Amino acid sequence: MSAPIHHETAEELARSVREGSRSAGEIARAFLARTGKTSERLGTYLHLDPEAILAQAARVDERKAKGETLGPLAGVPVAIKDNICIRGVPTTCGSLILERYRPPYDAHVIQRLRAADAVLFGKTNCDEFAMGSSNENSAYKPVRNPWDLERVPGGSSGGSAATVAAREAPLALGSDTGGSVRQPAAFCGVVGLKPTYGSVSRYGLVAFASSLDQIGPLARGARDAALLYDAISGRDECDMTSRPEAKAVDLDEIERGVKGLTIGIPSALLSEGLDPEIRASLDAVRAELKRLGAGEAEVALPHAKHAIATYYLIAPAEASSNLARYDGVRYGLRAGNGDLKGMYEATRGLGFGREVTRRILLGTYALSAGYYDAYYLRAQKVRTLIRRDFTEAFAKADAILLPVTPTPPFKLGEKADDPLAMYLNDIYSIPASLAGVPAVSFPAGFTKSGLPIGLQLVGKPFDETTILRIARTWEKASDDAWRAPAIAEEVA
Amino acid sequence: MPIDVGTVRKIAALARLRVAPEDEERYVRELVAILAYVEQLQELDVEGIEPTSTVVAGEPPPLRPDEEKPSDIHEDALGQAPDREGDYFRVPRVV
């Protein structure tokens, strides 16, 4: 007997639709049934329109019936983070200020998914404007971790990670500015890829910090992550930072094992504050990769310890500028009576939540007269030092192995009143963001209490293939990389 | 300059953002803590280091041809307006 539909990989689902052994409609109905059972408890979706999903699936089936060649994601539901624009579909970014916004255009990644015959599933819940590490900053509702509903799923792409982990959707798109794909992937026990900056077009991704934002896939395994990455990456003339160097990941190449590859270990970063169970998991993965033929090299990354300070100046500065567009004039919320300035202030005061407000204030301060040099410009210079660290490390290693987070998933409310404590959680994910290099978070076992542990591989620019190859090698050797949370095993 | 309620009011005004009076003290506390943390960057020697404003390197991508393309979003875009008059977005009186 074959596995229930929701346990199959995206690759298997697409193949079955192309070969005609399954219809896209059958797959869509199966995932809608799963989602209907669990998404209210998990808080995974901000918008889900079953009719629109079934209509897209029906179009794929019609194309198949006419004998047309179907794309690589034929009939595969892909959940979309709610900061990615789909024409005519609500796109709130988890914010009240965009409560009624319906974009008049498709993001580049959405155009690509349509061309790949994917079925756009729901819009997933996220921290407001992708600012957060716990998904508690959604203006609508929190997301809960499928492995323990008392705990956070991570953020800001918490809905995307949780929905893939709970088998509500086989694939999802998130966005990663300082770890927002990788950290929730780690907390939910799935694979999350932050591509090289410039690999995936940002056209239609609502801007947070433009020099850092990158859309990335969430999937249950490395092959599916590669499949989705291949569907969305590549040059787009609508994004001036989109690069022609971006190249597809070859699914055969990631099966080649790790023999001949050198894994970089930044020992100095692995002591202070790292949870012992995550440390033990990292040591176990190291040992296994060595046994499978990988070499190891010590790498330094001496400036990585300053990454959080650097990031929390650069990202809020860019955000304060990007979010200036929400002024109540052309779309979204409008509040206040009286003059224009009063309308701006009332609209923004009412429409933005605490985290977004704090970051706008911080960014405005860092950019203001008299502080620009001391804060913003200095942070940009330290960013150069952090980039150089990676260039030097990659002279010795093909990829760098790191934790994703210093601790396993924490409880809802645990850090909600201490923003700095929340920011310190990003120590391992931010360096790759500042350097613009690709990084993948992959499942690497569980704590004794049954919470997922994720580890991270950071790669050379435009070398998504090598980090996915290492993650794939580990996944094949691991006995629990495919374990599903109990909530995904509930009989539909 | 140490951050106080006056600073928060000033930057909120610069950002065209109304902060409720009962929230001001909390933002002061949080910004003080964050700025104390980022103070560590002052210890680094960045003399002669170029700032990174983008990680994009290499040749800039070629410009696309400047061609007219059909656009059918006129009504979709105007239809989002909180207040409109015909083909215009309407705002409170400025002058």
**CB of A381 less than 8 A from some CB of B:** yes
> Is B10 part of a structural domain of the chain?
yes
**CB of A158 less than 8 A from some CB of B:** no
Nearest in space to A268 (alpha carbons), one of A351, A389, A361: A389
> Is B33 part of a structural domain of the chain?
yes
Residue B15: which of A320, A337, A377 has the nearest Cβ?
A: A320
Residue B11: which of A313, A332, A364 has the nearest Cβ?
A: A364
C-beta separation of A265 from A297 below 8 A: yes
Determine the distance in angstroms separating the CA of B28 from the nearest CA of chain A, rounded to an integer. Answer: 10
- Vertex A135, ends A449 and B39: CA angle to 5°? 100
Write the CB contacts of B89 (distance below 8 Å, at least 6 apart in sequence): A329, A330, B78, B81, B83
Is A81 considered catalytic here?
Answer: yes
> Is B82 part of a structural domain of the chain?
no
Token couple for A69: 């060649």
Q: Which residue of B has its CA nearest to A349?
A: B18
Whichever domain contains B25, its CATH number is 1.10.20
Q: Which structural domain range is residue B32 located in?
A: 5-42
Write the CB contacts of B52 (distance below 8 Å, at least 6 apart in sequence): A380, A381, A383, A384, A387, A434
What is the topology classification, in CATH, of domain A5-301+386-489? Amidase signature (AS) enzymes (3.90.1300)
Crossing angle for the helix pair A354-367 and B21-38, nearest 10 degrees? 60
Instruction: List A residues 333-352 in contact with B (Cβ-Cβ < 8 A).
Output: 333-334, 337-346, 348-350, 352
Write out the H or E segment, with its range, that includes residue A83: none
Assign A337 to helix, strand or coil: coil
Nearest in space to A220 (alpha carbons), one of A489, A492, A490, A472: A472
Strands A262-265, A295-298: pairing is parallel
> Is B86 part of a structural domain of the chain?
no
Q: What is the pLDDT of residue A1?
A: 41
**CB of A385 less than 8 A from some CB of B:** yes
Which residues in chain A show pLDDT less than 50?
1
Domain positions in chain A: 5-301+386-489
> Is B95 part of a structural domain of the chain?
no
Whole-number Å distance between alpha carbons of A216 and A180: 9
DSSP annotation of A268 reads G
> Is B78 part of a structural domain of the chain?
no
Assign A441 to helix, strand or coil: strand
Could you tell me the CA-to-CA distances from A459 to A207, A394, A440 in Å, in that order?
A: 25, 8, 9
Give, for all 95 residues of chain B, the pLDDT tens digit.
579 999 999 999 999 999 999 999 999 999 999 999 999 999 999 999 999 999 998 888 788 889 998 888 899 999 999 999 999 999 998 87
> Is B36 part of a structural domain of the chain?
yes
A30-69 exposure pattern, b = at least 16 Cβ within 10 A, e = fewer: bbbebbebbbeebbbbbbbeeebbbebbeebbebbeeeee
